[in-house]
Amino acid sequence: MEKIKFADLRKTVYYLKRNGLKKTLSAVRERVDASGQEPYLWEPLSQAEREAQRRQAGDMGFSVTFSIVTPTYRTPEKYLRELIESLRNQTYDRWELVLADATGDDSVKRVAESYADKRIRYKKLAQNGGIAENTNAGLAAARGDYIGLLDHDDVLTENALFEMASEIERRPGDGGAPLLLYSDEDKCNGEMTEYYDPNRKEDFNLDLLLSNNYICHFLVMERELIQSLGLRGQYEGAQDYDLVLRAAERLGAEKEPCAGRIRHIPLVLYHWRCHSSSTAANPASKRYAYEAGRRAVQEFVRGRQWKARAVDTEHLGFYRLEYEGSLFESRKDVGAVGGRILRGGRVAGGRMSAEGRVFYEGLPASYSGYLHRAVLPQDAEALDLRNIQVAPPLWEIFARAAGVTYRELPDKHIFDVSLLPPGTDVTELSIRVSLALRKAGYRLLYLPERSVEV
């Protein structure tokens, strides 16, 4: 645990330099509060679960094949063998591993060839062209129906490919097979004896993605799609982020919910190894990666012709968009914008689920929440009417759903809730109005910096 504690200390010092003492003290208090929560425990599959998955794949006739592409460069033998074993232990066996090796010697080749397994394919690269170029060489050699990306010092859980295959083979009638899939992930120490910091992700959320690459690992994409997109060297360090943004654009990310083509599997299927040189353990070690991430977001914005600028937030690797003029002028896909409702300095409303559950409820206003999501722009199923602004062309839709005329408070760009009859169930009405706007084809955008105290 000492390495983990040292990494946390290093992050705190870096945060202090960037954001000052007040915000740092708040961040430390939040971390202390979080330390009292139930510890995370990752458990491998039982033998019975392994056997059941193997039988199910055969009984249901799963046929989808996977190529796992890993660029290697001076990869320590221990890490490479653990990566390979994580694939050989998969409960779904229709895979190949493509090692695109830019190492000057034959150390990686010797390890690969020590396995009598034809699924392990070694490709020697003429030179080290960087992660993007090396990965592209691996992508070109891949033959599977779907391609997954695996870093050379990370590993997959035993059920990773089975879960991906299950989701792909399900093939719902309304959208066909998904073209991009991603799972939850966690981190592990260099020895793979401790697992921590699980990243429990959301289903596809465009504006959250524009704030941070929350999709990350384990990412699987249909072969023709990922080969046509490729990785771009000018975004080195954030090449995966740039890839996901371009894939989302290709799949119609502005349409909700991308016709089912992007799927989230809510299971930890990827272990991200943390050691002294990894970004996960030391964010400042690859500052260039976060700058490249911001440029990738800006490129997405430019492609949509939004009048907005991607800027860094106080949290390294997280971004927000600053819009020129009215947001609604740029974002024709957005029907309403909402913000936080605060009571006694804590979140009491704002972003809600379709059933009325308040996201981040009870969180102190100065806290950033789980993986900083409480302070990031994000799409919502429902927004609280006590802090909502509706695009002018949609005021009539609002009026029909709410039963009252839409009017904004003087000097404030939010709905005047005094227009609602006494005794109105604001939560129920918020859900009704939000549903009407979404059924009309519009996105609801939650901006937590827009706060109202009640």
Q: What are the pLDDT digits (tens) for 255-299?
A: 555 557 999 999 999 999 986 555 555 555 678 999 999 999 999
The reply to whether 98 and 17 lie within a common domain is: no
Tokens of 381: 């199923």
Residue 17: what pLDDT? 58
The reply to whether 262 and 398 lie within a common domain is: no
Residue 24: pLDDT above 70?
no
The reply to whether 21 and 75 lie within a common domain is: no
Which of 254, 283, 312 is the endpoint of a domain?
283
- Encode pLDDT of 148-165 as tens digits: 999 999 999 999 999 999
Q: What is the mean pLDDT of residues 111-127?
A: 97
Report the percentage of the chain scoring pLDDT > 70.
Answer: 87
In whole angstroms, give the CA distance from residue 276 to residue 349: 40
Distances (CA, A) of 386 to 83, 338, 350, 400: 51, 9, 8, 18
Tokens of 348: 């009491």
The reply to whether 4 and 53 lie within a common domain is: no
Q: What is the mean pLDDT of residues 327-331?
A: 97
Tokens of 323: 């819009």
272 in a structural domain:
yes
Q: What DSSP string describes 202-253? A: PSP-HHHHTT-----SSEEEEHHHHHHH---GGGTTSHHHHHHHHHHHHTTT
Q: What is the mean pLDDT of residues 53-69?
A: 96
Give the closest residue to 262 by CA, choosing from 275, 253, 273.
Answer: 253
In whole angstroms, give the CA distance from residue 240 to residue 213: 9
- Which residue do the tokens 């009026």 mark? 399
316 pLDDT tier (thresholds 50, 70, 90): confident
Number of separate domains in the chain: 3
Domain holding 342, by residue range, is 325-453
In whole angstroms, give the CA distance from residue 282 to residue 11: 7
- Encode pLDDT of 341-394 as tens digits: 999 999 999 999 999 999 999 999 999 999 999 999 999 999 999 999 999 999
In whole angstroms, give the CA distance from residue 100 to residue 125: 7
Tokens of 31: 């971390």
Give the closest residue to 404 by CA, choosing from 429, 427, 370, 387.
Answer: 429
Q: How many residues does the chain have?
A: 454
Which of 227, 253, 283 is the endpoint of a domain?
283
Q: Widest CA span of the chain, in angstroms?
A: 77
2 pLDDT tier (thresholds 50, 70, 90): very low
- Encode pLDDT of 71-102 as tens digits: 999 999 999 999 999 999 999 999 999 999 99
260 in a structural domain:
yes
Give the closest residue to 80 by CA, choosing from 365, 144, 88.
Answer: 88
- Cis preceding-peptide flag for 162 (omega within 30 of 0): no
4 pLDDT tier (thresholds 50, 70, 90): very low
Tokens of 279: 């970004």
The reply to whether 338 and 387 lie within a common domain is: yes
Q: Regarding predicted confidence, which is higher, 309 or 258?
A: 309
- Residue 1: CB atoms within 10 A of its CB come to 8
The reply to whether 91 and 185 lie within a common domain is: yes
Residue 3: what pLDDT? 43
Q: Parallel, antiparallel, or unpaired for β 388-390 and 334-343?
A: antiparallel
In whole angstroms, give the CA distance from residue 181 to residue 171: 13
The reply to whether 241 and 346 lie within a common domain is: no
In whole angstroms, give the CA distance from residue 100 to residue 151: 11
Report the percentage of the chain scoring pLDDT > 90.
Answer: 83
The reply to whether 336 and 208 lie within a common domain is: no
Residue 207: pLDDT above 80?
yes
150 in a structural domain:
yes
Residue 39: what pLDDT? 86
The reply to whether 54 and 30 lie within a common domain is: no
SS3 content of the chain, % helix, strand, coil (to 5): 40, 25, 40
Q: Parallel, antiparallel, or unpaired for β 382-383 and 351-352?
A: antiparallel
The reply to whether 405 and 443 lie within a common domain is: yes
Residue 1: what pLDDT? 40
Q: What DSSP string describes 414-452? A: SB-GGGSPTT--HHHHHHHHHHHHHHTT-EEEEEEEEEE
Partners of residue 340 on adjacent β-strands: 451
Q: DSSP code of 170?
A: H
The reply to whether 187 and 64 lie within a common domain is: yes
Q: Parallel, antiparallel, or unpaired for β 378-380 and 443-453?
A: antiparallel
Q: What is the mean pLDDT of residues 188-201?
A: 94
In whole angstroms, give the CA distance from residue 1 to residue 343: 38
The reply to whether 365 and 415 lie within a common domain is: yes
Residue 216: pLDDT above 70?
yes
**Over 294-363, what HEC string results?**
HHHHHHHHHHHCCCEEEEECCCCCCEEEEECCCHHHHCCCEEEEEEEEEECCEEEECEECCCCCECCCCC
The pLDDT mean for the chain works out to 91
Distances (CA, A) of 138 to 64, 133, 135, 149: 19, 9, 5, 10
234 in a structural domain:
yes
Give the closest residue to 242 by CA, choosing from 275, 200, 289, 173.
Answer: 289
